[in-house]
Copies of this chain bind each other. A is one copy, B any other.
Amino acid sequence: MSGQTRTLTLADVAAAAGVSLSTASLAFSGNKPVSEVTRERVLAAAATLGYSGPNLLARNLRQGRSGVVGIAVGKLSTAFQDPAALPMMDAVSQVLGSAGMGLLLMGDDDGHARLPLDAVIYAVCGRDTWAAYDDLVVRDVPVVVVDGPSWAGASLVDVDHRAGCVDLGAHLHGLGHRRVATVTLEASHPQRERDAGLREVFPDAVTIGACPSDLAAAQSLAGTYLAERPDVTAIVCQSDVQAAGVVLEARRRGLAVPGDLSVAGFDGVPTPWLDLVLTTVVQPLAEKGRATADAVLKRIEGEDVADVVLPVELRVGDSTGPA
């Protein structure tokens, strides 16, 4: 054919339809009433020319938003391995999606920060990931932090880790347990809060060690500990996956759960490795995600958002019993 086809613009469509640029714009956006007949004329013209709708980059500039929300998750393969992360992210994505916005994954590596984000969520990510935070503040990008800690200028969505662990501790104490050990997550806000909660009931709880929410890691940690035949009657873990690992390891060593050893977790996620119901603290994961997305949307609109701390619920299962 003949030469380069210049990109089609709304002006071309307007011309072809014999209407003004602004009318054509309205025909597409519907932001103001347009007579049915002219609107059809515009759409017809667009179809004829092969115009695929208003340029989104131009619209973004004009409206001052990108429609994209970043979510800092540290290393992807780590973050998503945590079964507690998924239902939350799912809810976030869903709520954002129905507002026409998208969720962009920010690794801990690099330059995602050079993208025009309307807001950023900090979730399931370690301390190091916070480096870019100051930059965001400078650029006035709203920030929502999930699972704390509270951060100047950022909105917070959290669950009541501490109360949950207090309840769990009380449950064990009620069953007669007195010598308790704990497996913790790596240093973080949830880790500190959960530990503090447990220690309100068992100040002298023995810390077995810290590890990620990973089955194998928890198993090996528990293995070394149980090998010494300690006299604890219960082990409290800071995640269900850890708890599953401890249960498996205890059984491997001939300990009955909960007969010889009670084991408890945190999160309330499925544990397909086990044939029993774990005693745990159930987080409202989907609600956490929705609350996060709501906070993001409000902050983008410039509204103030109060911090949110969602309640958790103790679920008594089959993994804990009398001391």
Contact = CB atoms under 8 A, between A and B. Distances in A.
Interface of A: 52-53, 55-58, 60-61, 64-68, 70, 75-77, 80-81, 83, 86-87, 89-90, 93-94, 97-98, 100-107, 109-112, 114-116, 138-140, 214-216, 219, 270, 272-273
11 contacts: A52-B139, A66-B66, A67-B114, A67-B116, A94-B107, A94-B109, A98-B109, A98-B111, A104-B104, A105-B105, A272-B273
Contacts of A114: 56, 67, 100
Copies of the protein in its oligomer: 2
Contact of A116 (B57, B83, B86, B111): B57
A116 B55 CA distance: 8
Contact of A107 (B93, B109, B112, B214): B93
A56 B66 CA distance: 9
A294 B155 CA distance: 37
Contact of A67 (B61, B98, B115, B270): B115
A86 B77 CA distance: 5
B102 A103 contact: no
Contacts of A116: 55-57, 60, 67
10 smallest CB-CB distances across A and B, nearest first, come from A56-B116, A77-B86, A215-B272, A80-B80, A61-B61, A76-B90, A57-B61, A102-B104, A52-B139, A77-B90
A68 B214 CA distance: 32
A158 to B, nearest CB: 21
B61 A75 contact: no
Given A98-B110, A107-B93, A107-B94, A115 B68 contact: yes
Given A52-B140, A57-B60, A81-B86, 5 more contacts: A52-B139, A57-B65, A67-B114, A93-B105, A102-B115
A5 to B, nearest CB: 11
Given A61-B61, A81-B86, A139-B52, A102 B112 contact: yes
A78 B114 CA distance: 30
A141 to B, nearest CB: 10
A86 B80 contact: yes
Given A81-B86, A90-B75, A70 B102 contact: yes
Contacts of A138: 52
